[in-house]
Amino acid sequence: MSTSTRFDTATRTPFWAETVPPQSACPALGAETSCDLAVIGGGFTGLWCALKARERHPDARIVVLEASLCGNAASGRNGGFCAPSISHGVSNALARWPREATTLVRLGLDNLDGLQEDLERYGIDAEFERQGKLNVAATPWQAEGLESMQLAYARFGIATTLLEGDALRERFDSPKYATGLFEPNYALVNPGKLVAGLRQACLTQGIDIHEHTPVTALNRTPQGVRLTTPQAELGASRVAMATNAAAPLLKRLKMAVIPIFDYTLVTEPLSDAQLSAIGWRDRHGIADTGNQFHYFRKTADNRILWGGFDAIYHYGSRQDEALLHRPESYARLEANFSDAFPSLADVDFSHAWGGIIDTSARTTFFAGTALKGRLAYAMGFTGQGVSASRFAALAMLDMLDGRPTERTRLGMLRRFPVPFPPEPIRSGAVRLAQRHLALEDRTGHRSLFLKTLDRLGIGFDS
């Protein structure tokens, strides 16, 4: 006998796609040609790179090559949390890059300001809302973590408010969470509209975009780099590679990231009364603070997006399209949603989908060059790329221009992450780390295994 669920009739595509008018695909590259800058990948990183390159080089020929449709991969499938950080948060900067933490924090804050200014400059309606983020704790040890987070923020003059009891219930009322830390300087975007806006801005700026044009090989030439695609070759003086979770075109990067699948549910629109019942009257985003954590936010029409918790790795780094849907993860999301929102037991889910996170072993992105400096790459955003992708794009352009800048001098960017081991050790190590992280969530005790990974600068997060 089958058991019905609240996501049985949910659309198995990202909600964001329905908020963007249909767009005609840009034509695939069909004839051999050349350009000054080729950008591989039409997601956030690639589109930001092309657009910012046009600002620096008004007369250059810039070409974007996208294997599918712009934003069809991770950029159009995330929750739209737009952080004032390039380092996966202040605490992560202090833990992993203590000597340059001050610089990382400042650059992260500046980057969010710059992103907002760019949206205004190019007239991109991405539903940008700078309404803050509430971090919530379900256990005493998670509450202690929020207190430590507040101290870390205070070191850099970042204002936060610790909330308990009535003060927390005024912002969010759930029987699951007893403590919260509110940070006002945090933004949300509609990822679908952000991709569409960046894509249109690129086209308006005379940038050529070729969709359904996967790059299958790269070869250095005396003039630069030759890119092979199914129908034609493209010669480029310089190349920016923004493929993130896709199988890397460079051998040196094949062990640097792994694809982790993350899943999301979105409810039907909620009434004002329903939102008042859970104390969520404002527009801030929310995330809990477990290792297995949920992120949740409102959409423009007051649905609740509820994602996270499961972080699924498939043996051999598989990325089959069928893996974008996982009923077991949807069921777990539904159960955890009911635990957090018992008053919303009758609310159905309208959308359910999965996405792939390009996960590095240190939870922050990295960047570098190859092919004698003709190619730059950035990858490993580990679920924190909505805003950091813009900064990474600027760093790649600095590297390609041969410009020593504050960005290019960052050890966080230039130091290569610890590589993941080959199979079968890789999948075993991921499962072991996940078991220890889940145990810490249940007990508050960080195991010797996790402490050893901490000392080695290795993490597993999403």
pLDDT digits (tens, 9 = 90+) for 397-454: 999 999 899 999 999 998 899 999 999 999 999 999 999 999 999 999 999 999 988 8
Question: Does 437 reside within a domain?
Answer: yes
**pLDDT classification of 315: cutoffs 50, 70, 90:** very high
Average pLDDT over residues 279-308: 96
Among 240, 299, 287, 238, CA closest to 262: 287
What whole-number percentage of the chain has pLDDT above 70?
A: 99
Q: Is the pLDDT of residue 4 over 80?
A: no
pLDDT at 453: 87
Question: Does 128 reside within a domain?
Answer: no
pLDDT digits (tens, 9 = 90+) for 58-72: 999 999 999 999 999
Contact 429, 126 (CB under 8 A): no
Contacts of residue 370, defined as CB under 8 A and 6 or more positions apart, other chains included, come to: 250, 252, 376, 377
Tokens of 287: 């995330």
Question: Considering only 148-157, 355-364, 365-374, which range has the smallest mean pLDDT?
Answer: 355-364
Strands 33-40 and 233-241: parallel
pLDDT at 5: 85
Average pLDDT over residues 143-147: 96
Question: Does 432 reside within a domain?
Answer: yes
Where does 122-180 have alpha helices with state H? 140-154, 165-169
pLDDT at 461: 56
- 């810039």: which residue's tokens? 62
Q: Is the pLDDT of residue 462 over 60?
A: no
Among 201, 180, 173, CA closest to 115: 201
pLDDT at 456: 80
pLDDT at 227: 98
Question: Does 452 reside within a domain?
Answer: yes
Q: Is the pLDDT of residue 73 over 70?
A: yes
Strands 349-360 and 257-267: antiparallel
Task: Find the domain containing 436 and state its range.
Answer: 424-456
pLDDT digits (tens, 9 = 90+) for 217-246: 999 999 999 999 999 999 999 999 999 989
Query: Rounded to an integer, what distance in angstroms lies between the CA atom of residue 62 and that of residue 259?
Result: 29
pLDDT at 79: 97
- Is residue 299 classed as helix, strand or coil in its secondary structure? coil
pLDDT at 209: 98
Side chain identity at residue 348, one-letter code:
D
Helix/strand/coil (H/E/C) assignment for every residue in 84-107: CCCCCCHHHHHHHCHHHHHHHHHH
Q: Round the average pLDDT of the chain to a whole number and report it.
A: 95
Contact 66, 42 (CB under 8 A): yes
Question: Does 433 reside within a domain?
Answer: yes
Which of the two residues, 37 and 415, has the higher pLDDT score? 37
Question: Does 444 reside within a domain?
Answer: yes
Instruction: Output the DSSP codes for 213-225.
Output: ----EEEEETTEE
Helix/strand/coil (H/E/C) assignment for every residue in 388-448: HHHHHHHHHHHHHHCCCCCCCCCHHHHCCCCCCCCCCHHHHHHHHHHHHHHHHHHHCCCCH
**How many domains is the chain built from?**
1
**pLDDT classification of 460: cutoffs 50, 70, 90:** low
Q: Is the pLDDT of residue 350 over 60?
A: yes
pLDDT at 1: 38
Average pLDDT over residues 85-92: 93
By CB neighbour count within 10 A (0-12 exposed, 13-18 middle, 19+ buried), where does 271 fall?
Answer: exposed
pLDDT digits (tens, 9 = 90+) for 158-213: 999 999 999 999 999 999 999 999 999 999 999 999 999 999 999 999 999 999 99
What whole-number percentage of the chain has pLDDT above 90?
A: 91
Question: Does 440 reside within a domain?
Answer: yes
pLDDT at 6: 85
Question: Does 27 reside within a domain?
Answer: no
Query: Rounded to an integer, what distance in angstroms lies between the CA atom of residue 228 and that of residue 234?
Result: 7
By CB neighbour count within 10 A (0-12 exposed, 13-18 middle, 19+ buried), where does 455 fall?
Answer: exposed
Residue 39 bridge partners (DSSP): 64, 240
Query: Rounded to an integer, what distance in angstroms lies between the CA atom of residue 413 and that of residue 364?
Result: 8
pLDDT digits (tens, 9 = 90+) for 238-266: 999 999 989 889 999 999 999 999 999 99
**pLDDT classification of 347: cutoffs 50, 70, 90:** very high
